[in-house]
C-alpha cells in the first residue's frame, strides 16, 4: 500500500515537473525548461528540443557528448539542420543589409553630385550660393510634390515668402511655435513627412542618411550573433574532430569584418571628407564641398536630436553615429 502511495506521489511530481518544463518553454525560458527535462525527468530528447528552440547550441552539444552520444540521427537531422538554418539566415541577412547600404550610399553620391553641379553653375554665373535662399532650387523634387506639402494659407502667401528650408516650412505648417507636447508631436509628424526615403523627394539626402544610420546600427548589433555562431562552429568542430565548421565560422567572421571595413570607408561620402580626394581638390571644389556640408549640417540639426550620442564612445556604432549625426562636427 505504501509503495502504491509513493508511486502515485512520484508520478504526480513528475507531471508537475513536465508541466513546469512545458510552461518554461512557452515562456521562452529554454535553458530552464531543458534543465528540468534533463535533471528531473531524464527526458533528453525533450531537453534537446528546448535547447534547439532557444538556439542554446552549447547545451545541445553537451547533451550529444553525454546522454545522447549514440543518437547520431538526432545530431545530423535535428541539431545540425537547425544550426545550419540559423547560420544561413544570418549570412543572408548581413549580405542583404550590406547591399542596402551600398544602394543608399550610391544614391547619396548621385544627389551630392547633382547638388555640386547646381552650386557650381550658380558660382560660375557670378552669383553666390546662399544655403537658405537656394534651398528650394537645389533639390530634385517634382514641383507638384513640393506644392502638396504646403497648407492653403502657405500657398496663398507663396510670393511673399517661398523659402523652402525645413525650418521655414515646419513653421509655416504649424502656424506658431508652441512648447506643448501636442505641438511638438505635430511638428515631429510634419518633419517625418518632409524627410521621406523616396526618390526625388525633398531632403531625400537626410532620409538616406537616417536610413544608413538604422542599417549600420542593425549590422553592428549583428556582431554579437556572428561571434556567437563562430564560437558554436568551433565547438562543433571540436565535437566532430573536424575543421569543417571551424572554417565555416571563420568565413562568416571574415566576411562580416570585410563588410564593416567597407562601410566605414564609405561614410566619408556623407560629409565629403575623404582625405585622398581633399588633397586633389582645387579652391572652387573646396568651396563648393564646404557649402554642401554647411547646408547638410544645418538641415540635419533639425532631425538629429533623437540620434545624439554621449561624448564617451563605447562602441563602433557610437563612433559611426558621431560621424553620421553629430551636429558639432567641423564643416
Contact criterion met (CB below 8 Å) for 146 and 153: no
User: Helices in the chain by DSSP H: which ranges?
Assistant: 2-26, 30-39, 44-53, 57-65, 72-74, 81-124, 135-138, 143-148, 152-156, 166-174, 181-194, 204-240, 244-266, 268-271, 275-280, 283-300, 316-325
The pLDDT of residue 329: 39
3-state secondary structure 46-58: HHHHHHHHCCCHH
CA 81 to centroid of chain Cα atoms: 28
The pLDDT of residue 30: 96
**Residue in the structure block whose three cell numbers are 526615403:** 197
The pLDDT of residue 65: 94
The pLDDT of residue 267: 76
Q: Do the domain assignments include residue 188?
A: yes
- Residue count of the chain, please give it: 331
Q: Do the domain assignments include residue 185?
A: yes
Q: Note down pLDDT in tens along the chain; length 331 residues.
A: 444 444 555 667 788 999 999 999 999 999 999 999 999 999 999 999 999 999 999 999 999 999 999 999 999 999 999 999 999 999 999 999 999 999 999 998 898 889 889 999 999 998 888 776 655 444 444 444 333 333 323 333 434 344 444 444 434 444 444 456 666 666 555 555 555 666 776 778 888 887 887 888 888 889 999 999 999 999 999 999 999 999 999 999 999 999 988 888 887 777 776 666 666 668 888 888 888 888 877 777 665 554 444 444 445 554 555 455 443 334 3
Cα gap 151→143, rounded to integer Å: 15
**DSSP assignments along 254-267, one per residue:** HHHHHHHHHHHHHT
Among 70, 105, 121, identify where a domain stops. 70
Q: What is the pTM of this model?
A: 0.71
Count: domains in the chain: 2
The pLDDT of residue 231: 95
Q: Do the domain assignments include residue 51?
A: yes
Q: Do the domain assignments include residue 252?
A: no
Q: Do the domain assignments include residue 319?
A: no
Domain span at residue 159 reads: 142-199
Among 183, 199, 215, identify where a domain stops. 199
Cα gap 215→229, rounded to integer Å: 21
Among 199, 219, 248, identify where a domain stops. 199
Q: Do the domain assignments include residue 43?
A: yes
Contacts of 10 (CB under 8 A, 6+ apart): none
Amino acid at each position: 500500500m505504501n509503495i502504491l502511495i509513493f508511486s502515485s506521489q512520484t508520478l504526480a511530481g513528475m507531471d508537475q515537473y513536465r508541466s513546469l518544463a512545458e510552461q518554461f518553454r512557452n515562456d521562452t525560458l529554454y535553458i530552464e525548461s531543458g534543465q528540468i527535462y534533463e535533471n528531473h525527468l531524464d527526458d533528453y530528447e525533450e531537453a534537446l528540443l528546448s535547447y534547439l528552440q532557444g538556439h542554446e547550441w552549447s547545451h545541445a552539444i553537451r547533451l550529444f557528448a553525454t546522454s545522447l552520444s549514440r543518437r547520431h540521427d538526432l545530431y545530423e537531422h535535428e541539431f545540425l539542420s537547425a544550426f545550419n538554418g540559423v547560420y544561413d539566415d544570418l549570412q543572408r541577412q548581413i549580405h542583404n543589409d550590406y547591399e542596402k547600404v551600398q544602394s543608399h550610399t550610391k544614391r547619396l553620391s548621385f544627389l551630392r553630385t547633382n547638388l555640386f553641379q547646381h552650386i557650381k553653375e550658380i558660382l560660375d554665373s557670378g552669383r553666390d550660393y546662399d544655403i537658405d535662399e537656394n534651398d528650394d532650387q537645389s533639390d530634385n523634387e517634382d514641383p507638384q510634390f513640393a506644392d502638396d506639402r504646403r497648407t492653403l494659407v502657405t500657398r496663398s502667401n507663396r510670393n511673399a515668402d517661398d523659402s523652402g528650408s525645413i525650418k521655414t516650412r515646419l513653421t509655416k505648417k504649424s502656424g506658431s511655435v508652441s512648447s506643448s507636447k501636442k505641438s511638438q508631436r505635430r511638428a515631429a509628424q510634419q518633419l517625418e513627412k518632409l524627410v521621406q526615403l523616396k526618390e526625388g523627394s525633398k531632403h531625400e539626402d537626410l532620409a538616406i542618411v537616417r536610413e544608413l544610420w538604422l542599417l549600420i546600427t542593425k549590422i553592428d548589433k549583428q556582431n554579437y550573433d556572428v561571434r556567437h555562431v563562430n564560437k558554436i562552429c568551433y565547438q562543433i568542430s571540436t565535437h566532430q574532430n573536424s575543421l569543417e565548421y571551424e572554417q565555416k565560422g571563420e568565413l562568416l567572421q571574415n566576411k562580416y569584418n570585410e563588410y564593416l571595413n567597407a562601410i566605414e570607408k564609405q561614410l566619408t561620402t556623407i560629409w565629403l571628407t575623404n582625405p585622398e580626394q581633399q588633397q586633389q581638390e582645387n579652391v572652387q571644389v573646396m568651396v563648393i564641398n564646404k557649402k554642401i556640408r554647411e547646408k547638410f549640417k544645418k538641415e540635419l540639426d533639425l532631425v538629429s536630436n533623437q540620434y545624439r550620442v554621449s561624448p564617451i564612445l563605447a562602441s563602433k556604432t557610437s563612433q559611426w553615429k558621431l560621424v553620421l549625426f553629430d551636429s558639432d562636427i567641423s564643416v
